[in-house]
Amino acid sequence: MAEEHPCQTPEGHRLCVNNCGFFGSSATMNLCSNCYGDLRLKNQQQASMKSTVESSLSAASPPSSSPEIAPVLQIHPAEPQLPATEKQIPTATEERQQPPPPQRPNRCTACRKRVGLTGFVCRCGTTFCGAHRYPEVHGCTFDFKTAGREEIAKANPLVIAAKLRKI
């Protein structure tokens, strides 16, 4: 009988060459399916980049009678390079036009409890916790009656018809 060593993997199971923890196969160059798919995608991108660069170089250069040596280009698909004319450098005036967003207070105005993202902003403009969010509880200074009347007046304008003349 042949002895099996528990520390050695069987012949059919090999770990991925990229050491990702999955098993690879000889059909996929000892890579797992994820790593093999990534490798194929990377190779396709490099081939397409190479073909576009070659076609742009051949279209840009005029045909000449003397043979020329094509320059060797190194392409890094992870780092797309833009021409210098397309790069935009923010100027000092653009930086001044975009002020940072105003910071919302993160404490309840009534009890000074930290509210974070769960704070309630009242119509009077202050932030409150869940216990003090109601206007009656925190003594709100906002005039709800006047605001309601103004909204109703805007939504329902007065319609005044022309008067008829009496005969």
Residue 42 lies in a domain: yes
How far apart are alpha carbons 147 and 98 in whole angstroms? 32
Helices (H), 6-165: 33-60, 92-97, 135-138, 144-155
> What's the token pair of residue 53?
């660069």
How far apart are alpha carbons 127 and 138 in whole angstroms? 11
> What's the token pair of residue 117?
């993202």
Q: What is the pLDDT of residues 34-90, one digit of tens each?
A: 898 999 999 999 998 888 888 877 766 555 554 555 555 555 555 445 455 555 555
Residue 98 lies in a domain: no
- For position 144, which CATH number holds? 4.10.1110.10
For the chain, what is the largest distance between any 2 Cα atoms, rounded to a whole number of angstroms? 127
Q: How many domains does the chain have?
A: 2
pLDDT of residue 17: 85
Residue 74 lies in a domain: no
Confidence check: pLDDT of 2 > 60: no
Whole-model pTM?
0.34
Confidence check: pLDDT of 151 > 90: yes
Radius of gyration of the chain (CA): 36
Higher pLDDT, 102 or 21: 21
Domain span at residue 110? 105-157
